[in-house]
Amino acid sequence: MSGCLCLPCYKKKEGTSAAAAKPSIDSQTSALLQKPTHPPLPPSKGMDAVERLKSGFEEFKTSIYGKKPELFEPLKAGQAPRYMVFACADSRVCPSVTLGLQPGEAFTIRNIAAMVPPYDKNRYTGIGSAIEYAVCALKVEVLVVIGHSKCGGIKALLSLQGGAADNFHFVEDWVRIGHIAKKKVQTEHASVPPDDQCSILEKEAVNVSLDNLLTYPWVKEGVAQGTLKLVGGHYNFVDGEFLTWEK
């Protein structure tokens, strides 16, 4: 099963060496946490890793940067993006590619499962400072939160068991930002298969993030004054679909 995040529980069994120890995975969640089956490697995988980056830049410089001075020259003086986009860090869902966003058009934050935490001056200050800068300094007009199909972070959220120990330092605590969405899906769609619950949760987690955005005072003020719009989105790369809705 493919996903942007896998959460095996790495526990070494007694009497086995570190090399021989295998990940111990709770039987109820193993289906959601299996190691992804990787597709055939792209041609770039045969290149040196650094050379791949260099060649990619040379292609960009020749084919795009050098041919669009009308786009890049104004950016030397500053940026004035219309959008702030929250998207997942999954390598398959780059919003600049999927939405055709040009340099200077979107101030973008990417993290596990495109989560937006609630306002808190003592936690998640990286996200808070980005939102504050985008709204108060850059004067963005639209805040967009985009979930996506086959999201491993959402699968991890759905598979978390109450009282179970965390396997990672940060991951589980981060995806718990969406616990309200998880509770809603499990209550309203209890009879739905786990894969379908995941698909529903991908969208409900976006709604929780949109609600959390309103806990930031400058966002709440902007929405009330009509200078800011909150938009939810979902990119289904399996079927090639993109949905949007306004909060």
- One-letter amino acid identity for 136? C
Residue 135 included in any domain: yes
Distance CA 109, CA 119 (A): 16
90 labeled binding residue:
yes
Catalytic residue check, 52:
no
The model's pTM is 0.81
Distance CA 118, CA 57 (A): 37
Catalytic residue check, 179:
no
Q: In terms of domains, do 156 and 219 share one?
A: yes
Q: In terms of domains, do 160 and 190 share one?
A: yes
Is residue 37 scored above 60 in pLDDT?
no
Residue 193 included in any domain: yes
The closest alpha carbon to 150, from 55, 236, 28, belongs to 236
Q: In terms of domains, do 53 and 154 share one?
A: no
Q: In terms of domains, do 198 and 136 share one?
A: yes
88 labeled binding residue:
yes
Residue 51 domain boundaries: 45-77
Confidence band for 46, pLDDT divided at 50, 70 and 90: confident
Catalytic residue check, 123:
no
Number of domains in the chain: 2
Please state the rounded mean pLDDT for residues 205-214. 98
Q: Name the catalytic one among 92, 110, 176, 189.
A: 92
Distance CA 51, CA 223 (A): 46
Catalytic residue check, 88:
yes
189 labeled binding residue:
no
Catalytic residue check, 92:
yes
The closest alpha carbon to 149, from 90, 208, 105, belongs to 90
151 labeled binding residue:
yes
